[in-house]
Amino acid sequence: KNQVEQSPQSLIILEGKNCTLQCNYTVSPFSNLRWYKQDTGRGPVSLTIMTFSENTKSNGRYTATLDADTKQSSLHITASQLSDSASYICVVSGNTGGFKTIFGAGTRLFVKA
What residues line the site for other proteins (CB under 8 A)?
A: 4, 32, 36, 41-46, 89, 93, 99-106
Q: Which helix (H) or strand (E) holds 107?
A: strand 107-112
Query: 17 vs 42, which CB is nearer to other proteins?
Result: 42
Helix H or strand E segment including 19? strand 19-25
For other proteins, give the closer residue by CB, 21 or 80.
Answer: 21
- Comparing CB distances to other proteins, the nearer of 2 and 18 is 2
Residues in the chain: 113
In the complex, least distance from residue 110 CB atom to other proteins, rounded to whole angstroms: 16
Question: 25: number of CA atoms within 13 Å, CB side?
Answer: 33
